[in-house]
Structure 1
Amino acid sequence: MKKAFSLTLALALAVSIVTACGSKEEGSSSNGKVKVEFFQYKSEAVATYDALIAKFEAANPGIDIVQTNVPESATVLKTRVAKGDVPDIISTGGDAQFADLALNDILADLTDYSVQSSVIEGYKTTLKLITGTDELYGVPFAANANGIIYNKGEFEALGLSVPTTKDEMDNVLAAIKAAGKVPFHLTFKDAWTALPAWNVFTASLQPADFYADRAAGSTTFAAAHKELMTQYLAFMQNGQPGDRFTDGYTEGNTAFAKGASVMYLQGVWSIPEILKANPEIKLGVFPYPVSNDKSKNLLVSGVDALFAISATSKHPEEAKKFIEFLIQTENAQQYTNEQKSFSAIEGVFQNEEYYSDLKPVFEEGRIADFPDHYINGMDLGIIVQELMQKKDIDAALKKMDEEYDKLANR
């Protein structure tokens, strides 16, 4: 039985029933073509999708694909769902919002959709874990990863090797500071930018069954996360001197690209923006070495982009035709190359040299999904941002438990 995770979406269902009964004509262009709205949340991918849409429309002249990309896309989508105005195709990440949409019957069941056979099995499993069902409400398309991005030129100049254990990482941090350089440029103006590192420490060091036990009420964040939070907080003290709340994500990408720090704690999605700011920078990415036990040093990698179809779309076949086009090897490879992402599609590979340090991790299967994808509705970014300000671990863990219980009981 499906459980409504979100009061907003529960109310949205009632509103959408009423709204859907209106007489508004949707899905047809003035030129007689079928109009399919493609709502996607990644601003950095607009140009790539524009090119793919043009290619699709040239081969399918009877279909108009209308790309929608807006600021605050999660809020906009929630508002539109509440009004019964659901886009035909929704591309979001494999996250809590996706679970909300799936578990409230907003999305079509795509379990038996033929294109699922082209998707790497692990990413389909991830979507099922996120929704807690055996059904697939989306087609995984692209994946991302949280690693430590580093300036290869700086590493070479300092005589540093990529660390693979916590002790080695501590030595790298010490060497960078001894040379008068900054290990990390931190960007806490945007609260969420503290989460890439938090996700890795949590995925690597928390008890394996933590989320199931927390849901059952047999553990708490305070009981299970204090040690890892202590280690995380200490690690995050290796940022630039002075105010670490002045810069946000955009400023941080540019600052790192221009040499403000030797390393950068961001997901690989930031690499295109870093390269825009400095096309000459030599980059690499390595997994966080949070433990001296290499088997615990995981790469957090999740579904960065998936394709879902509205359960009430008037043009599901045209929507499916576009999705089928996007996951064709040539087109999925174009997206992967331009977005510097990893692909969820079999036979599509990421061959950029700066990902070479991640190859052993993928080969050994040391992969974990984003922990914050399993904590629906809790604004972890704000809690962790406050932790960075006040450095009060007990208060942060208490807040996590309070917010978790509040959301679980509503």
Structure 2
Amino acid sequence: MTYTRKTILGLTAGLMSMTGLTGIALAQQTTLSLFSPNDQAAVAYTEAMIEAFEAANPDINVEIEVGPGGTERDNMVKSRLATGTMNDVFVYNAGSLFQAINPVQTTVDLTNEPYMADILNSFKQTVTANDGTLRGVPYGQAMGGGVLYNKKIYEELGLSVPMTWDEFMANSAKIQEAGYAPVIQTFGDTWTSQLFILADYFNVQAKNPQFAEMYTRGEAKYANTPAAMAGFQKQADVFNAGYLNEDFGAATLNDGLRMLADGEGAHYPMLTFAVGTIAQDYPELVGDVGFFALPGDDASLNGTTVWMPTALYISANTPNMEAAKKLVEFVASKEGGCDPWVEINAITGPFLIQGCELPADVNPAVADLQTYFTANGRTAPALEFLSPVKGPSLENITVEVGSGIRTPEDAAALYDEDVKKQAQQLGLPGW
């Protein structure tokens, strides 16, 4: 749907026509069209951001089109870009899906814009086109992938946040002895079973910095890369140790968040967006939930995997380039890219714009995640932001590993075959 925030424009034009100034007013007014995401938080942010932008730029009117989500959005974006009918500015994925829209031809180069110096490098690499140019700015907040944990249980048992997998398993043993479920799993929502693999990517990159490039070229596999195999092994470890909640096969995401918040379980591998649900459903308990990175085998290489926000791009075919650049510059600033999120109280991760501070009262899990961004080398984008290759059967494979049905070795080999089919469908060389 399309609408404009300046509902009084017609009235203003009518009044001005009585003074003979209509032509001047219309000549000065530029209207931009913004293709927005459709999730509730993004729409609320978009409305607040545009209101502030229009107040600072009274000569620019922004119409918001709320597009669909998922595959339908992907198809719509690609179709509009291919036919030259895309909105002036549009919000779309960073990472591998960004590469799929042929950004050199379809978006505007922002490399030399002064505000790009304020965008964190961890985000820039996900909006860098194949010619080395920068094409987008963050539209939202990052999410961490790791372990949500119950801070009260940790305090009760005198545990420290684990920096290695051995420490994690040792903590889990003590948690089990105390009568709590050490690790929550929720295979009733099968996608949640993937976090041991997906959130472990920081550890893969720390040991194999070229893994994403080699993986995309078909040169590196899960089955022949020990660091990549480790995610499957960790999932098997917690099952074999008997550390899971009894109903892991049927429990859902909401069940897992309730168990974590209530203190029935201590660890839940998950994305930090889920803390928003805890804050909504269990506001009195959200302060008991913290976050730490899924640990690897070397404490000196400890860091977390990050899911980057979407990005705002300028369509190469916009007839309103100057106004579009002003809007993108505003979104890349504290006033436009951060303050509106804080005002609508939808903080689920850190901002990727320098100068954007999290509120003092942000929930502990998000504050914990922020600490990884304040030190160099402690974050890495999830593999899906670095490579277009992800097999569709991963969540089914990880359910099997997490249920003791399939060994890590078998799972890695099976996933390599699943990935091969998808890479061949994409026409990637080397497969």
TM-score normalised per structure 1: 0.79
| TM-aligned CA distance change 1:66 to 1:159, over 3 Å | farther
| TM-aligned CA distance change 1:229 to 1:117, over 3 Å | closer
> For residues 69-121 of structure 1, what are the alpha-carbon distances to aligned partners after superposition, in whole Å with 9 as ceiling and x for unaligned?
45534532423432544233222342221121244722222222332122223
> For residues 113-137 of structure 1, what are the alpha-carbon distances to aligned partners after superposition, in whole Å with 9 as ceiling and x for unaligned?
3321222234323433xx4431111
Distance in 1 (CA, whole Å) between partners of 2:307 and 2:356 is 16
Distance in 1 (CA, whole Å) between partners of 2:337 and 2:373 is 23
Selected match of 2:52 from 48, 52, 55: 55
The question of whether the paired residues in 2 share the 8 Å contact of 1:42 and 1:69 is answered with no
Distance in 2 (CA, whole Å) between partners of 1:68 and 1:255 is 39
Distance in 2 (CA, whole Å) between partners of 1:401 and 1:265 is 27
The SS at the match of 1:301 is: strand
Higher mean C-alpha displacement, 159-168 vs 387-396: 387-396
> For residues 201-243 of structure 1, what are the alpha-carbon distances to aligned partners after superposition, in whole Å with 9 as ceiling and x for unaligned?
2330362222333345443332225632442332563443235
- Residue 314 of structure 2 corresponds to residue 309 of structure 1: yes
The question of whether the paired residues in 2 share the 8 Å contact of 1:233 and 1:388 is answered with no
- How much has 1:353 moved relative to structure 2? 6.2
- Residue 190 of structure 2 corresponds to residue 210 of structure 1: no
- How much has 1:191 moved relative to structure 2? 4.5
Selected match of 2:72 from 53, 57, 75: 75
- Residue 367 of structure 2 corresponds to residue 348 of structure 1: no
- How much has 1:379 moved relative to structure 2? 3.9
> For residues 289-329 of structure 1, what are the alpha-carbon distances to aligned partners after superposition, in whole Å with 9 as ceiling and x for unaligned?
221x1123221125313211112223333222222222332
Cross-structure match for 1:133: 131
Letter matched to residue 289 of structure 1 = P
Letter matched to residue 212 of structure 1 = E
Cross-structure match for 1:40: 37
Cross-structure match for 2:293: 287
| TM-aligned CA distance change 1:201 to 1:57, over 3 Å | same
Cross-structure match for 1:156: 155
Letter matched to residue 386 of structure 1 = I
Cross-structure match for 1:22: none
Letter matched to residue 78 of structure 2 = V
> For residues 240-294 of structure 1, what are the alpha-carbon distances to aligned partners after superposition, in whole Å with 9 as ceiling and x for unaligned?
323535524x564455445453232222222222211111222221122221x11
- Aligned-residue identity in percent: 23
**Match runs of 1:320-359 below 5 Å:** 320-335=325-340, 337=342, 338=345, 339-350=347-358, 352=362, 354=364, 355-358=366-369, 359=371
Selected match of 1:370 from 372, 379, 382: 382
Distance in 2 (CA, whole Å) between partners of 1:54 and 1:213 is 45
Selected match of 1:228 from 226, 230, 246: 230
> Aligned residues, how many?
380
- Residue 281 of structure 2 corresponds to residue 277 of structure 1: yes
TM-score normalised per structure 2: 0.76
Distance in 2 (CA, whole Å) between partners of 1:113 and 1:308 is 13
Cross-structure match for 1:219: 220
| TM-aligned CA distance change 1:208 to 1:386, over 3 Å | same
Cross-structure match for 2:269: 265
- How much has 1:138 moved relative to structure 2? 0.8
The question of whether the paired residues in 1 share the 8 Å contact of 2:137 and 2:312 is answered with yes
The question of whether the paired residues in 2 share the 8 Å contact of 1:94 and 1:373 is answered with yes
The question of whether the paired residues in 2 share the 8 Å contact of 1:202 and 1:228 is answered with no
The question of whether the paired residues in 2 share the 8 Å contact of 1:297 and 1:366 is answered with yes
The question of whether the paired residues in 2 share the 8 Å contact of 1:36 and 1:63 is answered with no
- Residue 106 of structure 2 corresponds to residue 106 of structure 1: yes
- Residue 396 of structure 2 corresponds to residue 385 of structure 1: yes
- How much has 1:357 moved relative to structure 2? 4.2
Unaligned runs of 5+ in 2: 11-25
| TM-aligned CA distance change 1:239 to 1:75, over 3 Å | farther
Cross-structure match for 1:13: none
Cross-structure match for 2:418: 399
Letter matched to residue 207 of structure 1 = N
Distance in 2 (CA, whole Å) between partners of 1:194 and 1:186 is 7
Cross-structure match for 1:4: none
Unaligned runs of 5+ in 1: 1-25
Q: CA RMSD in A?
A: 3.3
- How much has 1:178 moved relative to structure 2? 2.4
| TM-aligned CA distance change 1:230 to 1:197, over 3 Å | closer
> For residues 19-42 of structure 1, what are the alpha-carbon distances to aligned partners after superposition, in whole Å with 9 as ceiling and x for unaligned?
xxxxxxx99999466142232365
- How much has 1:370 moved relative to structure 2? 0.9
> For residues 324-350 of structure 1, what are the alpha-carbon distances to aligned partners after superposition, in whole Å with 9 as ceiling and x for unaligned?
222332343325643232122112123
The question of whether the paired residues in 1 share the 8 Å contact of 2:189 and 2:251 is answered with no
